[in-house]
């Protein structure tokens, strides 16, 4: 198992180029299953979760060609569907969250889709009801093997469009249902659809392939089913969670960092959430410039003087994936903030590690933590820690980079799941970070 050894307390300087978006990649890669024609995708991040999904597609006998480091072509013209019933699939399919989104395309095109309970971050209950209720609405039959945690949907006579009001605006659930509905017969209406930029990207790509989706960007999607889709070219957006992570890292290490080509219009409320913590963010064309926060940063309170809350909500609300980063950054701010993680119930437990390092945090309950910032009057202390999930891992890394002394982070596969080549990119900015085998 690899570890990061980090000597903290050093300010960094330079430019970073965000990787392509992990969570968009997972949707878009599954969409290649919807056509027999060639699909070219660029800006694919070289990270564990995405590479696992590419391998899974390869096992399904999708023809895959890598044109350069981040560009691939995919052609799903002669799939081996027997793989879906193999032991290998039971193992491969459960190793990441994104694999769940092969079900919609396979069901729509071949009348059957199976998946073992998918993996991903262990951050609380992560039910899949929205996905399967959607498929059932489209006419599929559903079965679940409780002993093996294996899900299956079948529709040998094809899917039929339907009206549905989703029980929650699930991101991967919406993507899955949209990918099934584009090849269903007739009209599908999805209300309470998730509408984050990656879903918009998916819908735009599907429309380019010949799908008929209206309402892209809203929570009401209308889809006219078509008989088949064709190939296309698609470029992934930069990863907004990585961009937010760089903003937080820059502020907490008092570093001057320019984040290049961020696709500002797709960042929604993210820059403002960091501004609420007092971080200065300058938009320079499509770059973000973060000056070195030599004198620290001060958390804003509300107009009436009450304590700021940063809480997650479905898009266009604040993504839950950045709350851990915002939390760690607040530990050195001037002032107090309540971090309210509404969506996931086990995502804040990593604060124990920050408390060990000297951060002032009260974990009120599994969803809420109050942070009382040090205003850089006291540095966090280096320590040994293990990364429980991708974003907690990144947050602990930020804490280690700002701490006094040398920290060790174990289990960094968790970080590699979502961040490309992080140690090398940090070294290029002047960070003292080494990867080694434990």
Ligand X SMILES: C=C(OP(=O)(O)O)C(=O)O
CA gap 118, 96 in Å, rounded: 6
Q: How many CA atoms lie within 13 A of 242 on its CB side?
A: 29
**Shortest approach of ligand X to residue 342 CB, angstroms?**
14
Closest-CA residue to 342 (of 369, 308, 368): 368
What is the nearest approach in angstroms of ligand X to the Cβ of residue 113?
A: 19
Chain positions 115 to 144 lying near ligand UD1, rule: CB under 6 A, are 126
Residues with Cβ within 8 Å of residue 424, at least 6 apart in sequence? none
125 is in an annotated binding site: no
The binder of 168, among ligand UD1, ligand X, none, by C-beta within 5 to 8 A per type, is ligand UD1
User: Is 423 annotated in some ligand binding site?
Assistant: no
| Closest alpha carbon to 299 in 257, 329, 256 | 329
- The answer to whether 130 and 99 are in contact (CB under 8 A) is no
User: Which of the residues 173 through 212 are near ligand UD1 (CB under 6 A)?
Assistant: 173
104 lies in the binding site for ligand UD1 (CB under 6 A): no
Does position 120 bind ligand X by CB under 6 A?
yes
390 makes contact, choosing from ligand UD1, ligand X, none, with CB < 5 to 8 Å by partner type, with: ligand X
Using the rule CB under 6 A, is 420 a contact of ligand X?
A: no
Other Cβ atoms closer than 10 A to 23 = 26
How far apart, in whole angstroms, are the C-alpha atoms of residue 236 and residue 276? 28
Binding mask 75-104 for ligand X (x = CB under 6 A): ----------------------x-------
Q: What does 341 interact with, of ligand UD1, ligand X, none (CB < 5 to 8 A by kind)?
A: none
Alpha-carbon gap, residue 27 to 407, rounded angstroms: 35
**What minimum distance in Å lies between the beta carbon of 93 and ligand UD1?**
14
Residue 429 sits at the vertex; the CA angle it makes with 424 and 435, to the nearest 5 degrees, is 30
Residues acting as catalytic residues: 121
Q: Could you tell me if 297 and 278 are in contact, meaning their C-beta atoms sit under 8 angstroms apart?
A: yes
Interaction pattern, residues 20-49, with ligand X; x per rule: CB under 6 A = --xx-------------------------x
Residue ranges of the binding site for UDP-N-acetyl-alpha-D-glucosamine: 97, 321, 343
Binding interface with ligand X (CB under 6 A):
22-23, 49, 97, 120-121, 321, 390-391, 418
Binding interface with ligand UD1 (CB under 6 A):
23, 26, 97-98, 126, 168-173, 314, 319-321, 343-344
């Amino acid at each position: 198992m690899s570890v990061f050894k980090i000597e903290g307390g050093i300010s960094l300087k330079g430019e970073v180029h965000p990787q392509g978006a992990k969570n968009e990649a997972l949707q878009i890669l599954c969409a290649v299953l919807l056509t027999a024609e060639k699909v070219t995708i660029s800006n694919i991040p070289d990270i564990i979760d995405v590479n696992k999904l590419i391998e899974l597609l390869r096992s399904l006998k999708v023809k895959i060609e890598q044109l350069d480091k981040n560009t691939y072509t995919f052609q799903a013209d002669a799939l081996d569907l027997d793989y879906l019933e193999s032991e290998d699939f039971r193992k491969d399919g459960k190793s990441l969250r994104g694999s769940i989104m092969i079900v919609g395309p396979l069901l729509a095109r071949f009348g059957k889709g199976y998946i073992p309970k998918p993996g991903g971050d262990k951050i609380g209950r992560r039910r899949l009801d929205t996905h399967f209720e959607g498929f059932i609405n489209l006419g599929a039959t559903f079965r679940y093997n409780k002993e093996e945690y294996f899900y299956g949907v079948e529709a040998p006579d094809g899917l039929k469009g339907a009206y549905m009001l989703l029980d929650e605006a699930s991101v991967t659930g919406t993507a899955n249902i949209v990918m099934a509905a584009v090849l269903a017969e007739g009209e599908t209406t999805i209300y309470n659809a998730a509408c984050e930029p990656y879903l918009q990207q998916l819908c735009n790509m599907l429309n380019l392939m010949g799908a008929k989706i209206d309402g892209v960007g809203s929570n009401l999607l209308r889809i006219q089913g078509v008989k088949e889709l064709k190939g296309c070219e698609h470029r992934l957006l930069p990863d907004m969670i990585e961009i937010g992570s760089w903003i937080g890292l820059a502020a907490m290490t008092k570093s001057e960092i320019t984040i290049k080509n961020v696709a500002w219009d797709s960042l929604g409320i993210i820059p403002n959430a960091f501004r609420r913590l007092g971080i200065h963010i300058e938009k320079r064309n499509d770059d973000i410039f973060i000056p070195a926060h030599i004198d620290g940063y001060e958390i804003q309170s509300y107009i009436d003087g009450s304590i700021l809350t940063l809480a997650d909500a479905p898009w266009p609300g604040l993504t839950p994936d950045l709350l851990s980063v915002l939390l760690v950054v607040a530990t050195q701010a001037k002032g107090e903030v309540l971090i309210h993680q509404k969506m996931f119930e086990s995502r804040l437990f990593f604060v124990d590690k920050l408390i060990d390092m000297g951060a002032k945090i009260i974990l009120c309950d599994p969803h809420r933590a109050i942070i009382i910032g040090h205003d850089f009057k006291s540095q966090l202390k280096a320590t040994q820690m293990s990364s429980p999930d991708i974003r907690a891992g990144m947050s602990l890394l930020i804490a280690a980079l700002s701490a006094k002394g040398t920290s060790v982070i174990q289990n960094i596969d968790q970080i590699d799941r979502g961040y490309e080549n992080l140690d090398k990119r940090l070294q290029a900015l002047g960070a003292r970070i080494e990867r080694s085998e434990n």
